[in-house]
Amino acid sequence: MATSNDIKKGMCIEFSNDIFKIIEFMHVKPGKGPAFVRTKMKSVTNGKVLDNTFSAGHKIDEVKVITRKFQYLYEDDNGFHFMNNDDFSQIYLDKAMIENSQFMKAGEEVTIILKDSDESPLSAEIPPTVYLEVIEADPGVKGNTATNALKNSIVETGARVMVPLFIEAGDKIKVNTEDGSYLERVK
């Protein structure tokens, strides 16, 4: 059993009948009163972010997790199917366990977080950026080039991405998976 003094970034803990990953933390020692640890935690099961403050020395339940690379295979009505590249076993994840899943395409590698005790899947992390082909793009409006104007486009995974006016159908673009923003055109 760990204490709040052992908290570090990336650590997984059990809190409020859920498993949370520490995103940010700060040890605070005010001039008056006891020390405490201010944390920002993200649920690995549903993606909710929670701010919490632990008093110094507070007992916490650390959860041992392992990460493995899996290849994304396909999506069905209930969720997503992945394959372990080492032993070719398949694993299934519910749609709620993956944030920004609209940017995953078949054959791409995804990091899946598994509980160490029983190797049950907790969540999946897609790469921070992906390369996708634009399938459909709105026409650019003539005379609207003085500012950084954007237009709607649909990429090969079916996601909508706002792109600059010069992007056309068939172009490959780099997309930030965290906020779905266009980063650059890929040659």
Tokens of 89: 């076993």
pTM, entire model: 0.70
Give me the CATH topology for the region 129-185.
OB fold (Dihydrolipoamide Acetyltransferase, E2P) (2.40.50)
How high is the pLDDT of residue 134?
92
Which CATH number is 11-55 given? 2.30.30.30
How would CATH label the architecture of 65-125?
Beta Barrel (2.40)
Q: Which residues contact 85 (CB under 8 A, 6 or more apart)?
A: 69, 70, 71, 109
Of 3 and 141, the one with more pLDDT: 3
Q: What are the pLDDT digits (tens) for 11-47?
A: 888 888 888 888 889 998 888 888 899 999 988 777 7
How high is the pLDDT of residue 140?
72
How far apart are alpha carbons 27 and 4 in whole angstroms? 9
Q: In 3D, which of 140, 125, 124, 83 has the Cα closest to residue 107?
A: 83
How high is the pLDDT of residue 64?
86
Helix and strand totals (H; E) in the chain: 0, 16
Q: What are the pLDDT digits (tens) for 104-147?
A: 888 889 888 888 888 888 778 888 899 999 999 888 766 666 66
Domain boundaries, the chain: 11-55, 65-125, 129-185
The CA-based angle 34-35-38, given to 5 degrees, is 130
Q: Do domains 11-55 and 129-185 have the same CATH topology?
A: no
Kind and range of the H or E run holding 60: strand 59-62
